Amino acid sequence: MKQLIVASGNAHKVKEFDGLLEASGFEVFSAKVCGGMPDVLEDGDTFGANARIKALALRALAPKDAWIVSDDSGLEVDALGGAPGIHSARYAGEGASDLHNLNKLLLELEEQAVANRAARFRCALCLIDPSGREQFFDGACEGRIAKAPAGAAGFGYDPRFVPQGDSGPFAERVDSVKRPLSQRASAI
């Protein structure tokens, strides 16, 4: 079985990759097998550029026969010109909590009607094979930002993001229901 190392220190993300790739022929590992994810400056101007930065940083530490996958993802809101975009995790500033980021988003959307709250979670994957070849994959989950929060599952923007064709936000869905709808699943 091929070894796939996820370039992330986020255990939740590694678990999600493992679930999405269970029938792929890859054995999924976290960056811990390389001593942990190195600190990187995500200064790319796209999700793909940031995913590549993380993948290359871990590739330098990984066994030569390993495959490396990294992602960068975030929320894009049409009424905000695509913001928060690549700044989703730091939307309210460096070190801001999920709640601070969500509150800033809601304040900026306060006057917007539901019809003007189109949004999507977007994901870019960078996959590096043992020969060093890089491949990129994109995925999205279309939806909208709800006026009222609901649910206790998930994190980040999940209490307000309602996927297209659904009546409730991601935070009302268990992982097994949410995972196949996610931007990461779309990219994979």
Phi-psi region of 173 (alpha: psi -120 to 50; beta: other; left: phi over 0): beta
Reference 78, options 166, 186, 164, 179; nearest CA is 164
Radius of gyration of the chain (CA): 17
Q: Which of 72, 78, 129, 158 is catalytic?
A: 72
Q: Which residue has the tokens 């306060």?
A: 110
Instruction: Assess whether 72 carries a catalytic annotation.
Output: yes
C-alpha 188/C-alpha 15 separation (Å) is 14
Reference 1, options 23, 30, 26, 29; nearest CA is 26
Phi-psi region of 132 (alpha: psi -120 to 50; beta: other; left: phi over 0): left
Give the torsion sign (CA, 151, 20, 181, 9): positive
C-alpha 79/C-alpha 117 separation (Å) is 6
Which positions are catalytic?
Answer: 72
